[in-house]
Structure 1
Amino acid sequence: MVTATLRMYAVGFGDCFLLTVPRFGDRPWRMLVDCGVHGMGRSEHSLGTVITDVLETCRDGDGGAGGGAGAGGKPVIDLVVASHGHQDHIAGFTDARWEEVTVGEVWLPWCEDPTDTEAQRLRTRLDGAARTLHQRFAVDGPEIAAIALNSLSNERAMTTLRDGFAGAPVRRFQSATAPVRTELPGLPDARIHLLGPARSEEAIKAMDPPELERWLALGAAPAAGSGPGLSGSESLGPFGPAYGIADRDLFRQRFPHLDTDDDLLDHPVLDPDDALAAASWLDRCLNNTSLVFVVEIEDVRIVFPGDAQWGVWREILANTDARALLERATLYKVSHHGSHNGSPKSLVHDVLPDHVTSMMSFRSMERWTAIPQTDLVAALRTPGRTLLRPDEDLPAGGAAGVGEVRRAADGLWTEIDLG
C-alpha cells in the first residue's frame, strides 16, 4: 500500500518537492515544499515547465481514488511551505499562475513575518548588505552579484507567499526550539513535527560546524560572533562595524595622510575577494533561517531541512525528542544540496537510520565543484541506504525497504512511493 508519494523536480541548483497522500473517496492531500532555482544553476527544464507540471498534477485526482474538489478545475494544494527566502527556493512563486491555485495553508520562517519587529529588523539588515553587493558588482563581478542576488528578498515571490493564492490560506510564520507537533486536517494519521529554526541570532550566525562535524576540511572558521553585521550593530554592511569610520573628525585628526572627500568615505571600494566572502557569508546566514520539519504519515517519516546548516542542526541534535524523530526517518531530503555544512556527520552517521532513503536536489556547477560532498554521498549510500539524484540513473529494484521509484521520460522529475 502506498502511504505517500514524494516527487523531486529537476529544477537545477534549487529545490521543488511535491508530496501527495492518497485519500479514499476524496482528492489526494498535497504539500508543496519550495519552488526555485539559483540564477547560476538552472537546469534544462525551466521553472515555468516545473510549475506547469505541479499545477496539472494538483488540478485533478491523479494519484488517488476520486477527484474531489480539485478534479477538472483549479489546482488545489493543502499546504505550501517556503523553507527560507533564498531565490533557489522561492523564485518560482513569481509566476502569475499561482493566483489561480487554491491553498489551505502557507508556512514561512519567522524572519519573514511582516508584523514582527525583530524579524523585519533582521530582514532589512540582510537585504541592505545583499543589495549593496549586488549593485556594486553587477557588471564587473557577476559571480559575486549572483550570490548576493540569491540572498536578496524576492518581493514578487514573497508577495505571493504572504498575500497571494486563491482560497484565503492561513499564514503561519514558524519557529521552534523544541519539536512542535501540528495535526493535518483531512489526514487523521498524519502530523508535522516542526524542529526549527529557533528565534536566535546566535543560531543564525553559527554556519560552519566544528571540525568533527564537517565533510570538508576548510580554513579556520570565524569566531561565533564574527561575520558581517550580526554583532548588534543596526547596520549590516559587507564588513563589521570595526571596519567602518564611526567618527570622521577623529579619523582625519589621527590619519591626515589618509584624508579624502566624504563621497569616497561613503562609498568604499570593496576588494573582490573580500566581497565574495561577504556575499557567501550572507548566503549561508539565510540558510540558518530554514524551516526544519518531519512529516509523519502512519509509519512514514520524511525529513525536510531546507538548507539548514550547523547553527540550526546544533539546536536540533541537542534535543532528545528531535533526535528520536530523526532516528526513525524513512526519507531524508538532503540539506543544502549536499554541501559540506548542510548535513552534520553525527546526523548522517549516528542519527539517521541504516535503511534511510535520501533525495538530493542539485546541479553540478563550476563555481561549486565540491557540491555534493563525495564523503557525504558515500555515507548516504552505505549498505541498506539509497540516494536518489537527478543526474544519475535510478537504482535497480527501487529504494531499499521503501517502494517504487519512477522518473519522467524527459527527466523533469523523480518520484518515490513511500509505505
Structure 2
Amino acid sequence: MSGPGITVRMYRGPQADAGKVERGLLGDCFLIRIEQGEARSFILIDCGVLTGTPDARGVMRAVAQDIAATCGGRLDLVIATHQHADHLSGFAHAADLFFGGTIAIGEVWLAWTEDPDDDQANELRARFDHARATLARLAAPDPHSAFAGAPQTALAGLDAFFAVAPAGSGARMTTGAIIDRLREAPAKDKVRYLGSGAVLQTPGAIPLGAIVLGPPRDRLLFKDLPTKRGDETYAAPPGSTQALVEEALDSTDTDRSGHSPFAPGERRLTEASVRAVADDAAAGADDAARQWLRRRYYDDLPPDPPSRGGDVPDQKRRRIDGDWLAAAGAFALKLDSDTNNTSLVIAFALPDGDFMLFAGDAQVGNWESWHNQPYVFGGQTLSATDILARTRLYKVGHHGSHNATLKAKGLVLMTHPGLVAMVSTDEAFARLPARGWQMPAARTKRALLEATQGRLIRGDRRWRDDDDVRAFPASGDFLGRLDESGDLFVDYRVYGDAVSSPKATGTKGTGRKGRRAP
C-alpha cells in the first residue's frame, strides 16, 4: 500500500512468562503510530486500568514508560473518551511522566461534556458529580448509615469505575482532576471539546482525518439500554432508586422520595420505638403493636410462650429490612452507563477511505445518535451506515460487554471483508466473584468472531492460543500484520506494509514480519 504505515498498539498487563499471556488489562490504553519516511505522529487514546487490578500502579507505570520510549517523549494528541477510572487512572499512576515533562502533549481532545464554558455540559457534570459523591458515601458510609453493614453489596463493585487513583506524590486524583490536568498539559488553544458531527484532522507531522460520531446532546445521551416499548426514563424522579438511596444517606430528609404508603400522621411505629417498648399486657394499641413487632422481628426470643408454639431462637432471620439496599446497585449501574454514554467516539480515516472506529464505552443511545445526521468528509456526504460499512478496525466498546456494541445499527453494518476487532479485557479478572461481569459477553464475542471471521484480538490471550478462532479460516495477511511478541502490548498494522515493530521499554522481543497460520 502507498501512504503512511499505521499501527495500533493495545496495551495489556505485563506477563510473567513471555511465551504465554496470563493477564489482560481491564481498561483502555491504545497508542496509534503513524509513520512515513522519517516522519512520525503519535495518538494516545485513554490510559487506564480498573481499580482493584493487582499492582495497578506498577502496570500503568510500565505502560507509560513504554509510551514515552515509543513516541520519543512527545504525543501529538491525547484523547480522553470519558470519566471512568479504567480509561484515565494511568494518567494518575504515572502523573510524573505525563505531567512532569517526560512526555510532552501537543493537543488534547475531550467530549463536549467536559467543556467548562458549555452550560449544558456544566449542568450534566454537576449531576454526575453529585451522583459520584453519593457513591463515595455508599462505599465508605457513616457508621449509622443503613449501608454501613455491606456497602459493596449495594454497589456490586461498580464503584471501581469511579474510584480515585494515587498519583506519584501520594495524593489521590479523581477522574475529574485527571481531566483538569489534561486540560493544562498543552497550550490553552490546543484543547478541543468535540461533539457529534465535527470533522477535523489530527495534529502532527502526518495527520489523519477524523469524524466525531458521539456523544449526542439530546435525550439519547441517557439511553443506556434498548427497550421494546421505548418508554425509558432519563432522570431520577421521586421514588426512583437514586432518590431512595439519597434519602437513606440523609436521615434528616424524611421521606423525600414520597415512597411511604402511609400519611405522615400515621407513621407512629418507628424502629427506635419498637426496640424500646417494654412488655406490658395493658398497653394501648400502638404499644401493643410495637411489642408484637419487637418479639417477632427484633428479639432473640420465641414468638410466643413455648406452650403456644415452640421455641424459635432468632427472629432476625425473618426481617427483610436490609434487602432494599440492593436497589443502590441500580443507581450505581445507571451512573456507570450514563458516564459510558458520554464517550467521545471517533472514526479515523485511512488513506484509502476506510476507517478505524474507536467507540470508547458508548452505550445504545450514543450509537443510535450516529445515524441522525450526515457527515461531510473529503468532499463526500457520508452516513453512519457508510462509515460503519467501511470500518476496517473496530475498538470494541466496554471490554466486550453485552450492551456496548449495538447490533442492527452497529456491528451488523460493519461489513468490511477485512474487519478486525481489538478488545481490551481480562476475562478472568472480570469474572471474579466480587464482580461477576461477563467481559467479553458470550453473545458479543460470538458476534465479533463471526463479523471478523476470527480476526478478534484480545488483550488477555494471544490469538494463536485462542481456541475460539479455530473455527474460522486463518488469514495470512492478518497474521502478517499481527505482532504479539511483546509482553506488555499487542500491535496490529492497520495500514501499510507489515513491518517489524520497534523495540520499546518493558517489552521482550521485537515484532516479526509474519507468522504461519496455526
> Structure 1 length as normaliser, TM-score?
0.79
TM-superposed CA distance for 1:291, in Å, is 0.7
1:413 maps to amino acid:
F
Instruction: Give distance in 2, aligned partners of 1:305 and 1:246.
Output: 36
1:134 aligns with 2:144: no
| Letter of the 1:20 counterpart | R
Question: What's the CA shift string for 1:33-82, capped at 9, x where partnerless?
Answer: 000111134578611111111111111xxxxxxxxxxxxxxx11111000
Mark the CA change 1:171 to 1:378 in structure 2 (over 3 Å): closer, same or farther.
same
Partners of 1:277 and 1:394 in 2: CA distance: 36
2:292 aligns to what?
A: none
SS of corresponding position for 1:80: strand
Taking the aligned partners of 1:13 and 1:369, their CA distance within structure 2 comes to 11
Alignment of 1:297-308 (within 5 A): 297-299=350-352, 300-308=354-362
- Alpha-carbon contact 1:310-1:342 (below 8 Å) kept: yes
Cα drift, residue 333 of structure 1? 0.1
Give 3-state SS (helix, strand or coil) of 1:46's partner. helix
**Which AA in structure 2 matches 1:171?**
V
Change (3 A) 1:258 1:110: farther
The alignment status of 1:273 with 2:273, answered yes or no, reads no
Q: Which residue of 2 aligns with 1:418?
A: 494
Residue 460 of structure 2 is matched in structure 1 by 391
Change (3 A) 1:77 1:141: same
Q: 2:444 aligns with which of 376, 387, 390?
A: 376
**One-letter amino acid of the counterpart of residue 449, structure 2:** R
Structure 2 partner of 1:7? 9
Aligned partner of 2:201 among 183, 190, 200: 183
For structure 1, which runs of at least 5 residues remain unmatched after alignment?
Answer: 60-74, 212-220, 262-267
Contact residue 385 and residue 413 of structure 2 kept, 8 A: no
CA contact 1:197–1:312 (8 Å) conserved in 2: yes
Deviation by residue 1:374-410 (Cα, 9 ceiling, x = unmatched): 2221222226451000222224976755851112442
Query: C-alpha separation between the residues in 1 aligned to 2:124 and 2:53?
Result: 27
Give 1:282's aligned amino acid: L
Equivalent of residue 315 in structure 1, options 369, 383, 400? 369
CA positional deviation for 1:270: 8.9
CA distance in 1, matches of 2:238, 2:327: 21
Q: Displacement of 1:166 after TM fit?
A: 5.3
- Cα shift readout 1:338-376 (whole Å, capped 9, x = no counterpart): 111111112112334243000000112222342212222
Q: Tell me, what secondary structure is at the counterpart of 1:368?
A: coil
Q: Which residue of 1 aligns with 2:418?
A: 355
**Aligned equivalent of 1:331, options 379, 393, 400:** 393
Matches of 2:138 and 2:420, distance apart in 1: 43
Name the CA distance, whole Å, in 1 between partners of 2:201 and 2:270: 63
- Mapped partners of 1:337, 1:399: distance in 2: 26
Within the candidate set 142, 151, 174, 2:162 is matched to 151
Which of 171, 192, 213 is equivalent to 1:195? Answer: 213
CA apart distance, 1:114: 2.2
- Is the contact between residue 252 and residue 258 of structure 1 (CA under 8 Å) also seen in structure 2? no
Shifted more, 346-355 versus 125-134: the winner is 346-355
Secondary structure of the structure 1 residue equivalent to 2:138 = helix
AA paired with 1:285? D
Equivalences for residues 184-333 of structure 1 within 5 A: 184-186=202-204, 190-200=208-218, 202-210=219-227, 223-226=231-234, 229=236, 237=243, 245=256, 253-257=264-268, 271-299=324-352, 300-319=354-373, 321-333=383-395
2:106 counterpart SS class: strand
**TM-score, length-normalised on structure 2?**
0.65
Equivalent position of 2:104 in the other structure: 102
Give the CA deviation at 1:238.
6.3
The alignment partner of 1:380 has SS state of: helix
Give, as a single letter, the amino acid of the residue that structure 2 aligns with 1:359: M
Partners of 1:130 and 1:77 in 2: how far apart? 31
Of 29, 37, 41 in structure 1, the residue corresponding to residue 49 of structure 2 is: 37
Unmatched segments (≥5 aa) in structure 2: 14-24, 141-147, 164-173, 248-253, 273-320, 375-382, 466-473, 496-518
Shift of 1:253: 3.9
Aligned-partner Cα distance in 2 for 1:133–1:269 = 18
Residues 1:244 and 1:287: Cα distance change in structure 2 (over 3 Å):
farther
One-letter amino acid of the counterpart of residue 52, structure 1: Q
Pick closer, same or farther for the CA change 1:288–1:232 going to 2, 3 Å. Answer: farther
State the shift of 1:116 in Å: 2.3
Q: CA deviation at 1:148?
A: 2.9
Q: Distance in 2 between matches of 1:255 and 1:31?
A: 63
Q: Check the 8 A contact 1:39/1:146 in 2, yes or no.
A: no
Counterpart Cα distance in 2 of 1:399 and 1:344: 29
Count of aligned positions:
378
Check conservation: 1:103, 1:168, Cα contact below 8 A.
Answer: no
Name the counterpart of 1:69: none
Question: Which of 138, 147, 161 is the aligned partner of 2:182?
Answer: 161
SS at match of 1:209: coil
Letter in structure 2 aligned against 1:180: A
Please show how residues 14-163 of structure 1 align to structure 2 within 5 Å. Answer: 14-26=27-39, 28-41=40-53, 46-59=59-72, 75-94=73-92, 95-99=95-99, 100=101, 101-138=103-140, 140-142=150-152, 144=155, 146-151=157-162, 153-163=174-184
Give the distance between the partners of 2:457 and 2:207, measured in 1 at CA: 27
Q: Is the 8 A contact 1:406 1:416 kept in 2?
A: yes
Change (3 A) 1:158 1:33: same
SS in 1 for 2:463: coil
- Report how far residue 122 of structure 1 moved: 1.5
Percent identity among equivalent residues? 28
2:190 pairs, out of 170, 178, 196, with 170
> Which is further off, 291-300 or 113-122?
113-122
| Partner SS, residue 120 of structure 2 | helix
Distance in 2, matches of 1:210 and 1:315, equals 16
Shift of 1:298: 0.2
Question: Which residue is equivalent to 2:286?
Answer: none
